[in-house]
Structure 1
Amino acid sequence: MVSGGSATITLTAATDPDGTVKSYIYERQVDGGQWQQVAQANSLTQTDTIGEEWGTVAYRAAAVDNLGLQGPYITSNTETVNVGWVTIGGPAESMGSKPTPFDFVFSVSVTGEPDADAITVSAALDGEQVYSGTLSAGEQVTIPIKTHLLGAGTHTVEVQASKDDYLPASKRYTFTVPAVVLPDGGVGALAQGPDGRAVYHTTLAQRCIGRDGVDIQAQMDALAARVKTLEG
């Protein structure tokens, strides 16, 4: 395959003993990352444009019957587009909303070198390093992302990989942590303990975790202690 060229996926007609085949789903996988749909069509052939920045690409397809039921995938071999490139495979670069903690999983490879090792890799969350090491081709890294310790808004995971004189790789992934909001008719309440101090409810982690992962009650206690010290 040549970058900037085209790939044609050709299928043999599927059969369905319980109905009729209505369409075929075509998907691609670039650099060992997430599968993404190219098309869904009632056709046994599909053409796709090869990206100039791709290191490798693979395709798969599945039949869908008139009831909307999908059959098994048939997967092609993985083809090299650009030889001698370090590649990073992972989720979609835009990961969407992440209201709960999740695992960020990625792997690295070198095109044309399936047995490559000692690939230098680093990953950073919002500019702070969360992983550094050396990997073999195809080896996976799992980074737990604790969204309850992050503020609401968009966050970024950036992965960089390099090896010797091969072309290095860098990928940027984003996700959004939604803000905690009360539902319509909901009420936010502040309680007091027996000693009259404010007590913050702990039913929602995002309400209870403050800066640097320290819960709000602990921060209030520390602030009160400092005030007493200043008062003498």
Structure 2
Amino acid sequence: MAKSLSSLAVGALVKDTGTLYNGKPIIWKIADKNHAGFPANSVTLITERIISLKCFDAMEQSNNDGNRRSYGNNRWIWSNIRRWLNSQAGAGAWYAAQHGLDAPPNNSNVWSNYNEYEAEAGFLAGFSANFIAALLTTNRTVGKAQMDGGGTETCTDKIFFATSTEVGLSGDVVAGSKLALFTDDNSRKAKPTAECVSKSEYQTSSFNVNDPWYWWLADAYASNSYSVRRVYSSGAMDWGHAYGGHWGVRPLCNLKSEILVSDSPDSDGAYTIIWNRAPSVPDSIDVPSDVRGGEKLTVTWGTSTDPDNNLSGYILERQYNGGGWAQLYKGINRTYTDQITKGWENVAYRVKAYDSAGAESAYKTSATRTVINNTPPTISGTDTDLGAKTGAFDQKYTVTDPDSGQTITVVEKIDGTQKRSYAATSGQEYTFSVTADEWRKLLNGSHTLTVTATDNYGGAATRTYTFSKNETEIELTLATPLEADDMVTKAIMSITRQIPAGAEFTVEACNNGHDDSPAWEDVTQAVTSGSKFFLSNDSKTAEEWGFNFRIKVKRNSASGDCFISSVGGNFE
């Protein structure tokens, strides 16, 4: 059963399940029926609660009027909020300048950046096509500021704010006539929705779903150019600066009286608007051809259209091994990730659309897919922190694949760079070797070794080993001293280096480098100043004289690059 919207009493709640704001259906309250000056045979709706906090208008930073430059514009016909309320545009596309000095409600133009909304979609973007088509154009009379000529002006809107007169308050002018809903302060009190509270950037203990809050009216406060009339939390008259993003939005609209609603209210206490035909079959369903037992599978499907524009979502069902169909998902998304049980032989899916009144389309059914029951390989051990390492090292591991006849490809990487790739034998132990040359190239800090094993069907396992390197000393010498025909008495050396402040840098030289215990002499000062140095040693135990040097660096607490890149020089 259904009945007309006009049969409901003033104060009754109404909603269209396909008309959303903040992801939830908007619940409206009947404010009047056949209201004077509004469209004939219409029902006037106002949101039951405050649905959002937004500024009336943004600061107009190019305006010659200092107050509008600092606090926004209080003229309804130029306001940002009027433009937003009546726009179907997508996110970030609803704003358009309403006059030459207009500015959008963004971070730069809203008080303390609270609830800027330039990037939002227009208010009507969340409305069902049926609701938008049913909105009646309404002649509006609103008060304006004295600097704009004072008195009232008229415009037409489909979504609008009430005037002071319409809510039963005395403003600066008479604009329209009182709506039947508003009889006293208590009738004007409005609480915010839960979504309004949770999404607001402005938070205070008194702003909650259980207490009334302030909400905007359409009238300018006539005495200045930037203040707007609003309803105080007590239901009394109030006013606020236009750029304040912490005051409530409570829109109104008019619908035709003959629109049908449900015979009884739902769990929200609201009667549901009825305009319904079944949606179309979803235009496609896609199931990957590669289906693996024990793994996840993502099913996607195409869109459905609804002639009444109240599509609510889709129902996805699954069949395996030719058995019965079972529901997996119901909702508005067009993708679902399923878990495939290992051992299934085949699987198929089908999807249908449904709308807010419960009408459903026929099914769109996928091809039946064969399930590949493959077990991925495993790598012995667990992901491990190997701690601090001091040089080249080996890490052993074993790769195992329970599925016989598989080809296992193993890839080893150091810090994400591939070291080697090879075909492994299941159950055999292998060694990941960090060579001395690779060790030298690693910087101090944390490093990662990864071993990834992949089988024929793409089943994969990865083992991760972490370790750290923290070398704080360098000692550099020649493995074989430089041959000398006679005792070396003097030499010069140049060392290309980067030694940070705070590190210790020492250079030693000897002329009896072949001895078991060479006579090392400190020549650091001569090397750092680029001077020739003289060696005092005049004895040796080996048969031959030989020149050698020894360079030492201790980092200590110094930070920054620390290296030696080349050593040069000569001796005699």
After TM superposition, the score normalised by the length of structure 1 is 0.43
Larger radius of gyration: 2
Between structures 1 and 2, the one with greater strand share: 1
After TM superposition, the score normalised by the length of structure 2 is 0.19
